Structure 1
Amino acid sequence: MSLNVFGEQLSAAALRERTGDLASVAGVREIELTNGVERGVRAFQVRTSAGLEFEVLVDRALDLGAARFRGVPVGWRSGNGFRHPGLHENNDEGGLSWLRALDGLLVSGGLDHTLFGNEVDADHYRYPPKQTVAHGLHGRLTAIPGRLLEAGEVWDGDRCTLRVRGEVVQATSFGEHLRLTRTVEADFDGLELRLTDVVDNLGFERTPHMFLYHLNFGWPIVDAGTEFVAPIAETTWQSDSVKEQGVSYRVQPDPQPGFVEQVYEHRLVPDAAGRHRVALIRGDSTLGVEVTWDAATMPCFFEWQNLRSGQYAVGLEPSTHHVAGDEAARADGSMIWLEHGESRTYRTTIRVLDGTDATSSARDAIRRVAGQPD
């Protein structure tokens, strides 16, 4: 086994002979954001020798901030900044204040609610003054600081894993007591990051659980001609704006002034390994990203087109639940209820597709699973 470092195959010993600090090549570095709305947010920068760089925002539920490949932006930046959680107003703006926290490669939704806000029954918590629970868009998770458990380089012979691990607890007296334990990893010389999330119920009341990844990609991954590739059996829901604007879900146009977001729920076909996989590929096929995840744990998927000038992004959103949300899931029996000590595990991979061979291979692999409507 050896490491691919700047095109050379080197053993770990040979690499150490060539530098006094491996951080010159790849590694994990702790930083703290110190200005504006981001002031006080702890983060870790993860860099691989292949040129993949991303940030893990410890104080933003260990979500993923800026991401680049060889200096080229991969993750989307909205302009909101990575706001300190102390500035978050969970129930303001009719429950839409979550949109002020929407920035970066990954913004997670959960842990007991995702999708649009509503008010639901709270009898299961057996606290008479609390008859209902009010939720905003995509829940409370993203505004909860994490507790760091591990960060650094983990060597096993000539192989090295760059790892950040921490936990986020969402809790209230007489209510939910859920914990997310998140591990973010990349190989020392890798082109992909791996996300492993475990959600468990620390409380002793039966508690609802919903979970969603808002994975956001911007320019230049998203540009005129960028193709969304997915094995789609059918599109089960779409926002009214799709019919009104008529913009293709498959091929992205230039930025549009005043564009109204288009959202789709697509029913995907899993591959032979039981995983869902989708990709965004630039029109010239020189660059793209592929996202894969366990189909059994996140069976639902949304595509978010925010093609407005100054915003311009595409979101790929694996989800535990359908677009109808919390109330509908309780009614039709699809709500996930965690008893004390029960847990759910989620595994997701985000891979950079570097060059036409990589993008063609990803497209062909997805096409072998299933086609998709025009």
Structure 2
Amino acid sequence: MTTRSWTLLHQADNTRTDHTVITPQDLGVDGAWKIEKRTLHGGLSEGVDEIRVNNGKLTFSILPTRGMGLWKAWLGDLEIGWKSPVHGPVNPAFVNVGEPSGLGWLDGFDELLVRCGLESNGAPEFDKETGRLKYPVHGRIANRPATHVSVTVDTTTQEITVRGIVEETRFHFLKLRMVTQFSTRFNDSSLTIHDEIENFSAGPAEMQMLYHANFGLPLLDGGSRVVCPAKTVVPRNDRAASGIRTWDSFPAPEAGYEEMVYFLELYAADDGWTRTVLKNAHSTQGISLVFNKRQLPCFSLWKNTTAENDGYVTGLEPGTNFPNPRSYEGEQGRVVKIDGGKRAAFLLTLEIHPTSKDVADAEAAVHKIRAGRDAQVWDKPQPGWCS
């Protein structure tokens, strides 16, 4: 059996491959998997690096230029992701995260999974005295390009791993380094993201992480549901409170729909692991997010069921905190503290369910975690939860 690695990008050595294709033939073995690295051209995608991994069953696209985000995935004819009115992937050179409105991040938003952080990950926040932007919406890490990217194929474990390093730093201020690994096995319908956030300063640091996982048609449709072991459900604002009776279900696309957001605490198994499932209206297809509540104790549900061409989408969002303004979340203690030279780790698995049986099995896993326990569903925003 064989293990081999390829360096696709390395800033320190000025190394970058514009186009690389890796197949089983490169290792002298049989198989149907394929890895391709290419550079995109045209429009807002000009210069974006993409790594497309096909494990023989599942294909997914990683964007080193966009903070090692996950652009889309495909399982046979099923496309997982959403149709954003932002036609990307967008090169961060065209995204002004620090623009005065605090909403510049939205100019590049079209991924299946985008990390929000690392200094902050919530709503934009402004200085009360000067009105100047303090923290932009959803932070900066998604618009920081990777400094190092490599691929490893291990034919013994039958695993493909894409590793990347992205830094979020400012002189005199934050010094954080994210080391991420995307891993998948040959002919599997799941992938796992393992992130380690290193504080390479000599002094302590605080950080936040939110995994903004976004799904549109066909997994999201009129009658879709989120199945999760909810312990507590809180509407973010009065708008969300007006839809609290149907917080876990979704309507068909509706022009002019105003988003609703719910903050949740989930039940977990004794070892901390929990799961949320999104399934379509007929329970024939779905997807699970599997994560550890000890690492990601907060869960946010974003419902944006507007017209399809305006971005019909829902976000399932495990995080270290709720996406309120950074100062508010800090006051609630929802930050991760990392001593100098230390790391914090996060693990998230996406499992795709292409059949009714797969969906039923995932739901059964949720019910096992819930163990018959009820959820407390609040009909209005709660202190300590909502800014």
* TM-score, length of structure 1 as denominator length: 0.86
Q: Name the residue aligned to 2:90.
A: 83
- Residues 31 and 43 of structure 1 are in contact (CA less than 8 Å); yes or no, is this contact kept in structure 2? yes
- Residues 210 and 320 of structure 2 are in contact (CA less than 8 Å); yes or no, is this contact kept in structure 1? yes
Distance 1:214 1:16, change over 3 A: closer
2:281 is matched by which residue type in structure 1?
G
Q: Name the residue aligned to 2:172.
A: 174
- Residues 59 and 73 of structure 2 are in contact (CA less than 8 Å); yes or no, is this contact kept in structure 1? yes
Whole-Å Cα distance in 1 between the matches of residues 261 and 109 of structure 2? 16
The alpha-carbon deviation at position 317 of structure 1 amounts to 0.3
Whole-Å Cα distance in 2 between the matches of residues 247 and 104 of structure 1? 29
Task: Report the 3-state secondary structure (helix = DSSP H, G, I; strand = E; otherwise coil) of the residue aligned with 1:211.
Answer: strand
1:64 is matched by which residue type in structure 2?
L
> For residues 132-281 of structure 1, what are the structure 2 equivalents within 5 Å?
134-156=134-156, 159-244=157-242, 248-281=246-279
The alpha-carbon deviation at position 320 of structure 1 amounts to 0.4
**Equivalent residue in structure 1 for 2:45, among 26, 31, 38:** 38
Whole-Å Cα distance in 2 between the matches of residues 373 and 33 of structure 1? 47
| Unmatched 5+ stretches in structure 2 | 2-22, 378-387
In the alignment of these two chains, the number of paired residues is 346
Cα-to-partner distance string for 1:174-206 (whole Å, 9 max, x where unaligned): 111100001001111110010000001112232
The alpha-carbon deviation at position 247 of structure 1 amounts to 7.5
Task: Report the 3-state secondary structure (helix = DSSP H, G, I; strand = E; otherwise coil) of the residue aligned with 1:241.
Answer: helix
Identity %: 24
Q: Name the residue aligned to 2:117.
A: 110
| Unmatched 5+ stretches in structure 1 | 2-14, 122-131
Whole-Å Cα distance in 2 between the matches of residues 30 and 265 of structure 1? 37
Which stretch has the larger CA shift, 102-111 or 266-275?
266-275
Whole-Å Cα distance in 2 between the matches of residues 140 and 324 of structure 1? 16
Q: Are 1:348 and 2:355 an aligned pair? A: no
Task: Report the 3-state secondary structure (helix = DSSP H, G, I; strand = E; otherwise coil) of the residue aligned with 2:101.
Answer: helix
Whole-Å Cα distance in 2 between the matches of residues 308 and 133 of structure 1? 29
* TM-score, length of structure 2 as denominator length: 0.83
Task: Report the 3-state secondary structure (helix = DSSP H, G, I; strand = E; otherwise coil) of the residue aligned with 1:225.
Answer: coil
Q: Name the residue aligned to 2:315.
A: 315
Whole-Å Cα distance in 2 between the matches of residues 165 and 369 of structure 1? 31
Task: Report the 3-state secondary structure (helix = DSSP H, G, I; strand = E; otherwise coil) of the residue aligned with 2:328.
Answer: helix
Distance 1:143 1:207, change over 3 A: same
- Residues 125 and 325 of structure 2 are in contact (CA less than 8 Å); yes or no, is this contact kept in structure 1? no
Which stretch has the larger CA shift, 169-178 or 333-342?
333-342
Task: Report the 3-state secondary structure (helix = DSSP H, G, I; strand = E; otherwise coil) of the residue aligned with 1:222.
Answer: coil
1:335 is matched by which residue type in structure 2?
V
Distance 1:227 1:68, change over 3 A: same
Distance 1:206 1:373, change over 3 A: closer
The alpha-carbon deviation at position 328 of structure 1 amounts to 2.3
Whole-Å Cα distance in 1 between the matches of residues 35 and 276 of structure 2? 28
Q: Name the residue aligned to 2:17.
A: none
**Equivalent residue in structure 2 for 1:297, among 295, 298, 320:** 295
Whole-Å Cα distance in 2 between the matches of residues 37 and 358 of structure 1? 37
- Residues 66 and 77 of structure 1 are in contact (CA less than 8 Å); yes or no, is this contact kept in structure 2? no
- Residues 64 and 106 of structure 1 are in contact (CA less than 8 Å); yes or no, is this contact kept in structure 2? yes
- Residues 27 and 152 of structure 1 are in contact (CA less than 8 Å); yes or no, is this contact kept in structure 2? no
Distance 1:340 1:234, change over 3 A: same
Whole-Å Cα distance in 1 between the matches of residues 126 and 204 of structure 2? 18
- Residues 232 and 372 of structure 1 are in contact (CA less than 8 Å); yes or no, is this contact kept in structure 2? yes
Cα-to-partner distance string for 1:84-126 (whole Å, 9 max, x where unaligned): 01111012251011111211111111111110122579xxxxx
- Residues 235 and 241 of structure 2 are in contact (CA less than 8 Å); yes or no, is this contact kept in structure 1? no
- Residues 224 and 253 of structure 1 are in contact (CA less than 8 Å); yes or no, is this contact kept in structure 2? yes
Q: Name the residue aligned to 1:60.
A: 66
Q: CA-atom RMSD, angstroms?
A: 2.5
- Residues 286 and 356 of structure 1 are in contact (CA less than 8 Å); yes or no, is this contact kept in structure 2? yes
Whole-Å Cα distance in 2 between the matches of residues 181 and 165 of structure 1? 7
- Residues 163 and 181 of structure 2 are in contact (CA less than 8 Å); yes or no, is this contact kept in structure 1? yes
The alpha-carbon deviation at position 40 of structure 1 amounts to 0.3
- Residues 194 and 347 of structure 2 are in contact (CA less than 8 Å); yes or no, is this contact kept in structure 1? yes
Distance 1:332 1:79, change over 3 A: closer
Whole-Å Cα distance in 1 between the matches of residues 55 and 186 of structure 2? 5
Whole-Å Cα distance in 1 between the matches of residues 215 and 284 of structure 2? 16
Task: Report the 3-state secondary structure (helix = DSSP H, G, I; strand = E; otherwise coil) of the residue aligned with 2:220.
Answer: coil
The alpha-carbon deviation at position 239 of structure 1 amounts to 2.9
Q: Name the residue aligned to 1:283.
A: 281
- Residues 73 and 218 of structure 1 are in contact (CA less than 8 Å); yes or no, is this contact kept in structure 2? no
